[in-house]
Amino acid sequence: MNQMPASRPQKPVRSCSDRTASTPCGHRTGRHVPSLHRAGQKGIALVVALILLVLITLVGIAAVRGTIMEQRMTANAYDRAISFQSAEAAMRAAQNLVASSPAIIARNCQAGGVVCPANPFNDSNLPASAIHTVATGTSSGQFTVSAATEGQPQFVIENMGNWVNPTSDTGYNQSANSAQYDAQGKSSTAVFYRITARSGDPAVVNDRAVVVLQAMVKQG
The CA angle 189-190-194, to the nearest 5 degrees, is 135
What per-residue confidence (pLDDT) applies to 193? 93
Task: Quote the CA–CA distance of 53 and 47 in Å, as a whole number.
Answer: 10
Q: Region 30-57: what's the mean pLDDT?
A: 74
What per-residue confidence (pLDDT) applies to 111? 87
55: burial class by Cβ within 10 Å (0-12, 13-18, 19+)?
exposed
Rounded to an integer, what is the distance from CA 193 to the centroid of its chain? 34
With bands split at pLDDT 50, 70 and 90, how would you rate the model's confidence at 166?
Answer: confident
Per-residue pLDDT tens digits for 143-159:
888 877 888 999 999 99
DSSP 135: B
Residue 64 has pLDDT above 90, yes or no: yes
In this structure, are residues 180 and 164 in contact, taking their beta carbons and an 8 Å threshold?
no
Query: How many CA atoms, within 13 angstroms, populate the side-chain half-sphere of residue 120?
Result: 30
With bands split at pLDDT 50, 70 and 90, how would you rate the model's confidence at 195?
Answer: very high
Per-residue pLDDT tens digits for 93-118:
999 888 888 889 999 998 888 899 99
Residue 209 has pLDDT above 80, yes or no: yes
Q: Region 194-202: what's the mean pLDDT?
A: 93
